[in-house]
Amino acid sequence: MGCWLGIDAGTSGLKALVLEESGEILAEGYAELDVQFPGPGCAEQRPEDWWAACKKAVSLALQGRNIGKEIQAVGFSGQMQGTVFLDGDNRPVRDCLIWMDQRAVQEVEEIAWKLRAAGLDGMAVTANQCLNTFWAPKILWMRNNEPEHYERIRKIIFPKDYLAFRMTGELAMEVSDASLSYLLDVPRRKWSDEMFRALDIPKELVPNRLLESCEVVGTLKKSVAGELGLLEGIPVIAGGGDQTANGVGTGIIEERVMGASIGTSAVVFGCSRKPFYDRKQRAIQSLCHSVPDLWSYLGLSLTAGASLKWVRDVFFAGKKQVWKSAGKNVYDEITRIAAQARPGCRGLMFLPWFNGDSAPNNDPYARACFFGMSLDHGMAELTRSVLEGVVYSLRETVEVCREDGREIGTIRVSGGGAKSSLWRQIQADILKASVVTMKITEGPAAGAAILAAVGSGYFKDVKEGCRALLKTDTVTEPIREHEKIYEEYFQIYRGMYGCLREPFAKRAGLINGR
């Protein structure tokens, strides 16, 4: 029997999944993670917490099961854009500035100035506009604001690469994660010497080995194998960033198929035969796919999925423990309440920008808010409006893709947004597309396991692995009456950012000034 361990190092938690050759999940484990917010727009995590969570999740997955020695390879998926700064002993210099960290605003302007001075078109090289969540501005922020830490840095890697290092002792990274560093030549899938020179960032800070997602980082160390209950020496595969790994895990490896994932963030994801260039600067991110001959693109809503967690912790703080004690799923209870409200919530809308907005507004100062609240709105409307607001934010990216001439009739959904029938219907209605779920709902972890199967030689390529292991589950069609309601409200939603951009900036100035 062939089986593979996929590890998804997410933001809210780390998932371990064992997938076998029939496409069945043999075991799963999960460990929750916390995020620290040390200041406005700041978001950090401790790399050591990821490793502790990794060991816990794998142990939970294998607990009471005699399958640890059957696992043939380990693959990774992980949150993207996080900067793990390592010293000369390969120990973290400080906590990681994760993907939702927005502090490097001035450094984006510094990068634009440096590129003009060098006469270099950054988008032509990287296929991206520079976002303050990318590596390059964060590295410059470190140099400008924490020089004592910067001087100790010897290598920089991504979150999942840190876990691979802890398993193998080998430092490496791969092209999908590296795509959002603003230092990679994305069309050529290699580091750009001219970007390093223009931005005055030493190339020695990145590992020498830059891999494709299915390539081997190293083999599992004896000490780690014993601790995790796995075989020593099995291959550890590079894997992909969570979005490209999710693309593999949901079968988004053809141009006609698009995906939407709602986790801590929310993402619209597609793939193409060549890099996607968004010259209109709407923060559509372009990257190398985890499939070697494909590229991908995504639009990110930074805290969309986190909005529902906020609802849980704020609106239902007193009830969530009661529900848990009664054996009820907290999110099922919340969506049950939301289902009592009508589509459109009688004009109540929610903007899901708790820590800024990425696509399409690219504004670190944007913040969440409710719009259109009346005295006759209750908890059902408040809760449902959050679910709808998250999907409105996805619709904005879908519209960018449609404007680019891409036909979108089917969207494969994953993450928390795929588990709720109500949320799936809201997605179908607002996105105007058939919404499809897969038998395996944990796309990133499944993608990591498929990449492990390919990288260890069980399948000849990713496409063969996806065909063998992935199966569709449910199909949700749009309801025409709902489509019309949502279309009218979406146009209002779409226009609100232009009215709020200046107040958002003034608010940020007041807070930062104090």
Whether residue 175 contacts residue 110, with contact meaning beta carbons closer than 8 Å, is answered with: no
Q: How far apart are CA 404 and CA 256, in angstroms?
A: 13
Dump the DSSP string for 330-392: HHHHHHHHHTTSPTTGGG-EEE--BTBB-TTT-BTT---EEES--TT--HHHHHHHHHHHHHH
- Choosing from 161, 242, 357, 363, the catalytic residue is 242
Phi/psi of residue 452, each to 5°? -65, -40
DSSP 29: E
Confirm whether 473 is a catalytic residue: no
C-alpha distances in angstroms, 143 versus 102, 138, 155, 462?
A: 16, 9, 14, 40
Phi/psi of residue 244, each to 5°? -75, -35
Q: How far apart are CA 14 and CA 78, in angstroms?
A: 9
The closest alpha carbon to 130, from 121, 142, 117, 143, belongs to 121
DSSP 36: B
The closest alpha carbon to 88, from 153, 17, 175, 8, belongs to 153
The closest alpha carbon to 459, from 260, 287, 253, 288, belongs to 253
Whether the CA torsion 275, 400, 299, 291 is positive or negative: it is negative
Helix (H, G, I), strand (E, B) or coil at 72: strand
Question: For the chain, what is the total number of helices (H) and then of strands (E)?
Answer: 19, 24
Whether residue 447 contacts residue 77, with contact meaning beta carbons closer than 8 Å, is answered with: yes
Helix (H, G, I), strand (E, B) or coil at 274: coil
Q: Where are the beta strands (DSSP E) in 79-183?
A: 84-86, 96-97, 155-157, 173-174
**66, amino acid identity:** N
Active site residues: 242
